[in-house]
Amino acid sequence: MNEIEWFIMIACGIGLAYTSYRIGFREGTGSMIDFCKSKRNKQGLTCMHFFGDNIEFIDALEYNRAMLDGIAKALDDEQSS
């Protein structure tokens, strides 16, 4: 094979690799967005909490309730002592 044929093969290989990457990225991103939309609550919101490498989907109302209960408990403990 001469240099022109090698250049054409390399150019086609790079083009095919990039096209495959873009299709995979688009499909993967679309699947992730659909998954996140499936975790919506009644208000249509998706709440995610990041714990380092762990990502959890949580209900915003339950999270707010737990935070307010924790604050109330801390205030009660502070007032009782």
Contact 63, 81 (CB under 8 A): no
Measured between alpha carbons, how far is 20 from 30 in angstroms, rounded to an integer? Answer: 15
Measured between alpha carbons, how far is 26 from 13 in angstroms, rounded to an integer? Answer: 20
CA dihedral 53, 48, 26, 31 (to 10 degrees): 100
Measured between alpha carbons, how far is 34 from 31 in angstroms, rounded to an integer? Answer: 5
- Low-confidence spans in the chain with pLDDT less than 50: none
Check residue 71 and give its pLDDT. 93
Check residue 17 and give its pLDDT. 93
